[in-house]
Structure 1
Amino acid sequence: MAENYRIRSLILVGGRSSRMGSPKYLLNTPISPETAVPLIEKIIMVHQICQDYYRDMSRTTDVSTRDATQSKELNRLLANSMVDQTRVHYIVDRTPDAGPASGLIRAHEDDAAAHWLVSGCDYPLLEVQTLSVLIQNHLKGKKAITCFRNADGWNEPLLAIWSPVALRRLHDLGRENPAVGPNRVIREFASKQDTSDNTEQFRFGVMTITPPTQSWLRNVNTREEWEAIQPEIPDFFQSSKMERPSHSHH
Structure 2
Amino acid sequence: MTIKTNKLYGLILTGGKSKRMGTDKGSLNYHGKTQVEHLYELLEGLTDKTFISCREDQANLDHLKSFPKVLDAFDDLGPSGGILSAFKQDPNASWLVLACDMPYLNRESLVHLIKNRDTNQVATCFFNGEKKWPEPLCAIYEPSSVERINHFVNLGKPCPRKVLMNSDVKILEPLQEKVLLNANTLSDLESFKKEKELSHEA
> Same fold by TM-score, threshold 0.5 exceeded?
yes
**For residue 16 of structure 2, what is the amino acid of its counterpart?**
G
Partner of 1:148: 126
Partner of 1:77: 63
CA contact (8 A) 2:126 2:172 kept: yes
Cα distance in 1 for residues equivalent to 2:39 and 2:192? 16
Higher RCO, Cα 8 Å, sep 6+? 1
Question: TM-score of the superposition, structure 1-length normalised?
Answer: 0.71
Q: CA deviation at 1:130?
A: 1.5
Cα distance in 1 for residues equivalent to 2:121 and 2:196? 31
For 1:99-114, list aligned pairs within 5 A: 99-114=78-93
Partner of 1:160: 139
Partner of 2:162: 184
Cα distance in 2 for residues equivalent to 1:233 and 1:9? 26
Partner of 2:179: 216
Question: TM-score of the superposition, structure 2-length normalised?
Answer: 0.86
CA contact (8 A) 1:119 1:159 kept: yes
Cα distance in 2 for residues equivalent to 1:22 and 1:110? 28
**For residue 225 of structure 1, what is the amino acid of its counterpart?**
D
**For residue 189 of structure 2, what is the amino acid of its counterpart?**
W
Cα distance in 2 for residues equivalent to 1:151 and 1:164? 27
- Name the SS for the 2:137 alignment partner: strand
Using a 3 Å threshold, how does the CA distance of structure 1 residues 115 and 149 change in structure 2: closer, same or farther? same
Over the aligned positions, Cα root-mean-square deviation in angstroms equals 2.2
Partner of 1:7: 8
Q: CA deviation at 1:95?
A: 3.3
CA contact (8 A) 2:133 2:165 kept: no
The answer to which structure has the higher helix fraction is 1
Cα distance in 1 for residues equivalent to 2:140 and 2:184? 23
Partner of 1:91: 70
For 1:190-209, list aligned pairs within 5 A: 205-209=168-172
Using a 3 Å threshold, how does the CA distance of structure 1 residues 18 and 78 change in structure 2: closer, same or farther? closer
Q: Which string of whole-angstrom CA distances, capped at 9 and with x for unpartnered residues, describes residues 173-231 of structure 1?
A: 32x24542112211221xxxxxxxxxxxxxxx211111121221011101111111124
Structure 1 residue ranges without an equivalent (≥5):
31-35, 52-57, 80-84, 190-204, 235-250
Cα distance in 1 for residues equivalent to 2:82 and 2:156? 12
Q: CA deviation at 1:72?
A: 1.4
Q: CA deviation at 1:123?
A: 1.0
Q: Which runs of 4+ in 1 moved over 4 A?
A: none
Partner of 1:225: 188
Of 37, 40, 43, which residue of structure 2 is paired with 1:44? 40
Q: CA deviation at 1:97?
A: 4.1
**For residue 62 of structure 1, what is the amino acid of its counterpart?**
F
Question: Percent identical across equivalent pairs?
Answer: 31
